[in-house]
Amino acid sequence: AQKVTQAQTEISVVEKEDVTLDCVYETRDTTYYLFWYKQPPSGELVFLIRRNSFDEQNEISGRYSWNFQKSTSSFNFTITASQVVDSAVYFCALKGTGGFKTIFGAGTRLFVKA
């Protein structure tokens, strides 16, 4: 069975702080894909990143960075120098190759205070 766990329900930080959102996953597939999505208060889901299971390189995009560790089944997301506009719910998701279904974690609500 596949599962995504985002243990942090809510995180509150002050602007300019760094924050890491945790994601732990379970799958029996040897090839799989991991995703992060952002859902701002307006409700739309914004695709942030996709990671293949065979590519463990960490990625940086501006203030965003992702740390993929296959050994611990984790795919954590760090926002550096957070801003108020980063306030949103962030979802980690997993898709195996055994089917078409993408499994979403429960989400982490991030509050960034000015």
Partner 1 sequence: SAVISQKPSRDICQRGTSLTIQCQVDSQVTMMFWYRQQPGQSLTLIATANQGSEATYESGFVIDKFPISRPNLTFSTLTVSNMSPEDSSIYLCSVEEGQTYNEQFFGPGTRLTVL
In the complex, the residues that contact partner 1 under the rule CB under 8 A are: 33, 35, 37, 43-45, 47, 50, 91, 93, 95, 100-102, 104-107
Count the residues in the chain: 114
Question: Residue 5 CB, nearest distance to partner 1 (Å)?
Answer: 11
Question: Residue 12 CB, nearest distance to partner 1 (Å)?
Answer: 16
* Cα four-point dihedral sign 2, 51, 78, 70: positive
Nearer to partner 1, 46 or 81 (CB): 46
Nearer to partner 1, 32 or 82 (CB): 32
Nearer to partner 1, 18 or 56 (CB): 56
* Cα four-point dihedral sign 95, 53, 107, 37: negative
Question: Residue 95 CB, nearest distance to partner 1 (Å)?
Answer: 6
Question: Residue 47 CB, nearest distance to partner 1 (Å)?
Answer: 6
Residue 78 bridge partners (DSSP) = 20, 65
* Cα four-point dihedral sign 66, 52, 50, 9: negative
How far is the C-alpha of 11 from the C-alpha of 27, rounded, in Å? 26
